[in-house]
A and B are shown apart, each in its own frame.
Chain A
């Protein structure tokens, strides 16, 4: 009757697999009519995003490991007197020849550091199970099964799902074995030894977790986790610094000379015995099995008299409360929580600080990059990172007590904005700290060098509001698990926008800095508008009214388009494509992707009216004619204006750069055939429509024309603004995109033709 240990492990493994399968499978199944299948669907999407990110990360670790193993070998060989490094030589050294131990000792130190770091990281803040109130083990304990089976299954689960281990330890060991002459055999051997080491680490983790759950109240556990996070991160940084330095630091060799030889026989690095002979795997197997068995026995002893002994969260810490706080309401509550949940505190505030300090200490290149613009970009980046954790969670921080805020007689978006301000201030402090530390004035300070730091501070505030709104929009009320409640696509979007901003801070011109600020501010306004529309339905998502085009759709599409055209250009550029081909294909690809993506996202599950709403409908012939005629008129105006502008020094400077004739033709082709359709779609079909939802038609037309003019060249600001006004008016009149496209095409054709001629 009573299931045996192997059976328990099998049942639990099958259940875990089933859960994983449901999670992934739910992605492909359509949502049942009226069913509440939301949980699975969203989960599937985030799983796929995670798998993709994991693959990228894994590939990167492999390449880093490969380069690194080569470098260590090179250094060892140089020490041995082999001046030149070549593949043949490595082959000889690695294939079980004399100086092999010299090369292995540094790896032994490195692997040991890595394993210790992995243990700490496993116990740290990312470990959700430890900080949760309801614990699955309590339920499992009510089954008539041997305790050992429950814990063994847990060890197995941890070992197989230890992402950090599989993305760091596995690539490193596999590349070492590959270079040692095992080639493809290195992959299964690497996987096997990673599994063994991961099992040993997991069993220790289970032992410590069980002890903590049993003896330590939950709030202290969180403090402990905070410490583990810091230690683990520091160790990982150290490993990363050792691996990513161009020259392998001497200190690694000094340490490895002292203890590396002994470590080769220990539990953490005996994997390397495989380099000598395949039977070396027995060594690591013996160590791991021994550790797992001992840890399991100790764990069993722990729970002999009950699984839990300490109280629940904060039990035993009752105290009289009555102290007055200067900040009232939501802010006071948030600050109090931040003070008590040290785990969250560390994640949001300490880790980013550590990251910065460590970079400054370890990475000399970071210190040298002291130009005002680079420092501004770095300061902004650090602050944006802080916000990605703190600011993104303004709504999430309410956790399951969200209903409480809904029952308050205050507008929820205002409450959230107040919380956002706090995070903005915190992030600005970080940014200022970095700037104060790294600021070095340079010889020729230009206007943009002075403005960059100012813009960085402003940008941090914009980012705070962006994070607050995006964390709210991305909040998934269907998802039951707190740490999966924010959909990953919104975090990615946030990072893309912050990345664009940082990039412009570092390299952009004055005008580009202006443009990125205008666009980001517009995006902030747009996402908060969306938050305001969405918030009332947060607790009952089924009641959300049919979605219509809103401002955020337009602004996000514009961001996507400019982001994609930049990234695609960079990719084509790195492929060594000829410049005229890049100029032609990059905007075309970006336009096609952006249009398809926007239309898909807007029409998903909605009526066909989206296509009509953006103006994809047949216009009257008269309207097209109007468009063409206005195009001619505006072009002549524009030419006169541009001719007048040439009298200014700065305009001549800006336009003075010589462009090859081939590229010039390609630019003209894009201006006539690619730019008008996509820009009209973005600025009239989406942006103007979005503005129309909150502004009067007159204001909406002017605003859309302004944004349209801003993202173009500063020289032609006025004529482009006029084009924007006319196309917007035409769009409103005809309710079709084609007349504005006709206008835009004619205008661009005339201007481009005369520019070339």
Chain B
């Protein structure tokens, strides 16, 4: 891992002027930001602000209209396969193959990532146990409830112990137990020096989990920085909620 960090400028994620345009509609408009090793960064924003679009570009799926996206100094598109070795990804609405049981989905992910089966089995077991998914693993994954799908997808994302987690609305659909567990997991990972980049619209989640917060609105990065800085600059003495409304209403108005 360390060797990979040395490539590029030492940033885990670096977006430069990243933009996406559909016809007349500007979905993402020149986002520039960086994530340091071991940092947890949350992307906050109202519905339709461009969070998911940004993340899809970061994952090498969606072609940007302009700008670059790099992870560990590697281009997210040209070096996709190498980038994905170090990234764990949780989509907003995970879709699994039909006629595949939960256990078979995990096996598939492990073999696609080239994880030796004994390593994969031990990691799977501990994660499955923590998420209390054990008895559901013999059920077809398409029959899972939304929360169960999300749990399975989180396990898929963590299976290879990634240096960077990219999560799209991670706790959307999870129950309070799973949410608490998820928060624990994120902190543990950060303690081990791994980075997390996630989108959310839960303000307290962003507040609790993150070193830095980026607020996106109308495709633009409206504000970014540690919570204290944002408070000082935008709403002295206020809460994150007040900052959020100050920034996003300002744009709409």
Contact = CB atoms under 8 A, between A and B. Distances in A.
Interface of A: 1-3, 7-8, 11, 14-15, 18-20, 22-23, 26, 35-37, 39-40, 43, 134, 136, 138-147, 214, 304-311, 315-318, 480-481
B23 A315 contact: yes
Contacts of B95: 134, 136, 139
B112 A306 contact: no
Interface in B54-113: 56-57, 59-64, 77-78, 80-85, 87, 89, 91, 93, 95, 97-101, 104, 108-109, 111-113
Contacts of A35: 139
Given A39-B140, A316-B22, A306 B100 contact: no
Contacts of B99: 19-20, 22-23, 26, 39-40, 43
B25 interface: yes
A144 B99 CA distance: 24
B103 to A, nearest CB: 11
Among B60, B64, B114, the one with the most A-chain Cβ atoms within 10 Å of its Cβ is B114
Interface in B106-124: 108-109, 111-114
26 contacts: A2-B81, A11-B108, A20-B99, A22-B100, A22-B140, A35-B139, A37-B139, A39-B140, A39-B142, A40-B140, A140-B112, A141-B60, A143-B84, A144-B114, A145-B84, A145-B112, A305-B77, A306-B77, A307-B60, A307-B61, A307-B62, A315-B23, A316-B22, A316-B24, A318-B25, A481-B98
A35 B62 CA distance: 39
Interface in B197-243: none
Contacts of A140: 112
Interface residues of B, number: 41
Contacts of A306: 57, 60-64, 77
A145 B23 contact: no
Contact of B97 (A1, A39, A136, A307): A136
A146 B143 CA distance: 30
A19 B98 contact: yes
A19 B100 contact: yes
Interface of B: 22-25, 56-57, 59-64, 77-78, 80-85, 87, 89, 91, 93, 95, 97-101, 104, 108-109, 111-114, 139-140, 142-143
B142 to A, nearest CB: 5
B236 to A, nearest CB: 39
Nearest to B114: A3
B212 to A, nearest CB: 24
The DSSP consensus for interface residues of chain A is loop
Given A304-B78, A305-B78, 8 more contacts: A2-B81, A3-B112, A7-B114, A15-B97, A138-B61, A139-B95, A142-B84, A306-B60
A14 B108 CA distance: 9
Nearest to B100: A19
A481 B99 CA distance: 11
Contacts of B24: 316, 318
A3 B113 contact: yes
Contacts of B23: 311, 315-317
A543 B40 CA distance: 46
Contacts of A138: 61
Contacts of A308: 56, 61-63
A309 B56 CA distance: 11
A19 B107 CA distance: 13
B249 to A, nearest CB: 24
A8 B100 contact: no
A141 B100 contact: no
Contacts of B101: 22
A139 B59 CA distance: 10
Contacts of B140: 22, 36-37, 39-40
Nearest to A26: B99
B63 A8 contact: no
A26 B142 CA distance: 15
Given A3-B114, A142-B89, A304-B77, A15 B62 contact: no
A141 B62 contact: no
Among A19, A20, A146, the one with the most B-chain Cβ atoms within 10 Å of its Cβ is A19
Contacts of A39: 98-99, 140, 142-143
A20 B139 CA distance: 16
A342 to B, nearest CB: 20
A144 B82 contact: yes
A211 to B, nearest CB: 13
Nearest to B69: A306
A14 B25 CA distance: 42
Given A22-B101, A142-B59, A316-B24, A147 B142 contact: no
Among B85, B89, B101, B112, the one with the most A-chain Cβ atoms within 10 Å of its Cβ is B112
Contacts of B82: 2, 144
Interchain residue pairs A-B with the least CB separation, the first 5? A306-B63, A316-B23, A311-B22, A144-B84, A144-B85
Nearest to B84: A144
A146 B83 CA distance: 11
A245 B253 CA distance: 72
Nearest to A25: B99
A37 B99 CA distance: 10
A2 B63 contact: no
A469 to B, nearest CB: 28
Contacts of B108: 11, 15
Nearest to B95: A134
A141 B80 contact: yes
Among B56, B78, B140, the one with the most A-chain Cβ atoms within 10 Å of its Cβ is B140
A200 to B, nearest CB: 26
Among B93, B99, B111, B140, the one with the most A-chain Cβ atoms within 10 Å of its Cβ is B99
B113 A309 contact: no
A2 B87 contact: no
A165 B57 CA distance: 37
A306 B79 CA distance: 11
A41 to B, nearest CB: 11
A7 B56 CA distance: 26
Contacts of A143: 84, 109, 112-113
Contacts of B89: 142
